[in-house]
Amino acid sequence: MSNKKAVIALGGNAITLPDVEDSVTNQFANTRKALRGVLSLVAEGYQIVITHGNGPQVGNALLRVEAATGKAPELPLGICVADTEGGMGYMIEQSLLNVMYDAGIVRDVVTLVTQALVDKNDPAISNPTKYIGQFYSAEQAEKFRVNRGWSMKEDGQRGWRRVVASPTPIGLVGSSIIRKLVDENVIVVAAGGGGIPVFTDEHGWLEGIDAVIDKDLVSAVVAKDIGADTLLILTAVEQVAINFGKPNQENLTAVHLDEIRELFEQGHFPVGSMGPKIRAAMKFIEEGGQQAIITSFELAAEAVTGSAGTRIIA
């Protein structure tokens, strides 16, 4: 058993690839491929929590809810997040057990459907900005706004979509259980899709809220809770870059916290792509983490040893 702890945040393209049919068979194949990059960390004895996104999957779940209108009870967004946490956790858990089996590694893996705490007074709750679900015409959007009370916004030139709140996670329900399992060398899959957003009411009860939480930000919370040394954010690119896509693009290798904060404030990392990952990395380092690494799935092991990816340090 190692005393090295890491939270590994799998991006949405770990399971669903663009321009590839989003079948369950393909999702399993993509998951197994993505986890091969994690395998070397498992072999080195890292104590690990795996988090993951769920954007395409929760969108599909909402589409099924809409298709079943009038035929089955409507499921709120929180239940859809919980359902995808369980289903995707099953895929990740089984896929990791299979690739460990092939490598001759024996370790327990468990999936926890996780509730993420938010502040009920978070300003983001009254200002929904996170696009979810399908595209609609202006007429359909108005119908959903009136009949279902949805907030709708135009998403570029492709049509209108539902928008929901994306509050900042402040803690996890059951974080002590996650840490206990990790300390027992169990690999834990937790806080999938950012976790199910909940708040504490005036009676001390937990209540769900129709919102989504950024999975990178909740990964930073998980990392702090388990005392992780490393937050490893796996995505589609090998390194973070400034002036991305321009002739003067510059890839970043090792960056201090103050430097990355200055670049963030200059607007180099858009909200819809690298921004949340940089925010999560900064939050983790600010709260005592040793290193946050952003890289591709294939280079996970190399990035941890310092030969690939972008490393953010205090």
Residues with catalytic annotation?
A: 12-13, 130, 215, 277
The residues, ordered by sequence, that sit 6+ positions from 15 with a Cβ below 8 Å of its Cβ are 27, 30, 31, 34, 52, 56, 57, 88, 91, 92
For residue 72, give every residue at least 6 positions away whose Cβ sits within 8 Å of its Cβ, in sequence order, or none. none
Amino acid residing at 157: Q
Q: Is the dihedral of CA 223, 293, 295, 211 positive or negative?
A: positive
Q: Find out whether 125 and 149 touch, Cβ atoms under 8 Å.
A: no
210 Cβ neighbours under 8 A, 6+ residues apart: 76, 77, 78, 164, 165
Backbone angles phi, psi at 134, to 5 degrees: -90, 170
Question: Is 29 in a helix, a strand, or coil?
Answer: helix
CA atoms within 13 A on the CB side of 151: 13
Neighbour tally for 25: CB within 10 Å: 8
